[in-house]
A and B are shown apart, each in its own frame.
Chain A
Amino acid sequence: MSVFKDAGHLFRFAGLFVLAFLVFLVVRQYIVPKSFGQYGHYRGAAIDEIAAHPVKYAGHDSCETCHADVLDVKKAGKHAHVNCEACHGPLAKHADDPASVTPVLPDTAVLCARCHTASAAKPKGFPQVVPEDHSTGLPCQTCHKPHSPGMEAGGAK
């Protein structure tokens, strides 16, 4: 071992490196979350955390549990494929607690116009009117039922 006769200082230095590496491993063990690398180079638990966010729109099926009568009318009309919350807004709280959280009825003057105001930018087949000419300021529900808006049989008047 004559080669290493005067190499003690190198071994001590190497020992220092090994010690630092061990400290790094221990610290890393504490700092890196357990789920890091579970699916890839990210924290796997983040997926569950994002999935746990609260829902605001209850979804069409929730409405059907209580409002089947309204839905039957809607299904027969032109608005069959428009979901309830498209007009009534997010109502998950109402679905969770129907008694204490009651939804506000939307203002048809704003609501109907959003979709049905005539514009050259809209698809040609979509029913559109110029509100001023069409109703002269009358509320839409004077003639149309929002759940079944057609004027023919099954509609309002």
Chain B
Amino acid sequence: MNVTRRQMLILLPAAAVAWESVLAGTPEEAPNYKLTEHWWSMLIDIPKCIGCGNCVRACQAENDVPVGFFRTWVERYHVSDEEMTNPQVISPDGGKEGFPVAQEDGEKYFFVPKLCNHCADSPCTQVCPVGATFISPDGVVLIDPKYCLGCAYCVQACPYGCRYIHPEKKVADKCTLCYHRITKGLTTACCEACPTGARQLADLKNPKDPIHEFLKTHSVQVLKPQMATGAKVFYNELDGSVR
């Protein structure tokens, strides 16, 4: 084979590019979903939550959450005028079957649905000694069950109490923001089942997502902002007594 110097100079970079693509391996299976085009979060509209527990049941059905453990749960706050900083919080069975009826006593009651905050700078991912938990390029904190040792460092590190050790698998487990659903264009099971729209999945990288307008026009907070976790579950009209 006779190759001139000119041809050689053209062929070399071409070969390099070809070799790069071989090294990179086969392209991903889902061509429509691009990891870098999303940054997932959730919006929780406190004034809309009625404490029906639909989200808790939906989450358990969708994700086979073991009985007695919760990837999402609902808390009911009862704040009296005298003790603003010492609210009474109940969450019977995670709010799965609703809440006992509260009698009108002129005091403040409200529901707070909780789940993994999918923090951008999460303490849980930083303490994992084996790289089993991580934040994906699209902003979801996930656990690799094949790598997890079950040491529970992350369970202790989460300031929101969102993680548990799965009683059968003996690995850490938590909300995946229904990653298997949102990557297929569906919303999460909890948002799907919420009858009042109190929970909304939001994509911060999508300029057309109504979250942007909502964040600009409402009083929105995250839980424990002083922890600087970069929490991405936004609460509308969150009361100061919520911890």
Q: Is the CB of A120 within 8 A of B195?
A: no
User: Which residues on the A side are within 8 Å of B98 (C-beta)?
Assistant: 114, 117
Interface class of chain A by DSSP: loop
* Residues of A close to B147: CB separation below 8 A: 42-43, 46
B16 within 8 A of A: no
A7 CB within 8 Å of chain B: no
Q: Which of B83-104 contact A (CB under 8 A)?
A: 97-99, 101-104
Tell me if B213 is interfacial: C-beta within 8 Å of chain A. no
If the complex has contacts A90-B62, A123-B47, A123-B48, are A51 and B131 also in contact, measured as CB distance less than 8 A?
A: no
Distance in Å from the Cβ of B87 to the closest Cβ of chain A? 12
Are B52 and A120 neighbours in the complex by a CB distance under 8 Å? no
Which residues on the B side are within 8 Å of A85 (C-beta)?
A: 58, 192-193
- Give the docked Cα–Cα distance between A36 and B130 (Å): 11
Given A50-B180, A51-B30, A90-B61, are A114 and B193 neighbors across the interface (CB < 8 Å)? no
Q: CB of B29 within 8 A of chain A?
A: yes
Known contacts: A120-B105, A121-B111. The answer to whether A126 contacts B62 by CB under 8 A is no
Contacts of A34 in B (CB 8 A): 25
Which A residues fall within an 8 A CB radius of B? 34, 36, 39-43, 46-57, 59-60, 79, 81-83, 85-87, 89-90, 114-115, 117-123, 126
In the complex, besides A50-B179, A56-B61, A126-B196, 14 extra interface pairs with C-beta distance below 8 angstroms are A34-B25, A43-B146, A48-B29, A52-B180, A53-B179, A57-B193, A82-B196, A85-B192, A114-B97, A119-B51, A121-B76, A121-B102, A121-B111, A122-B51
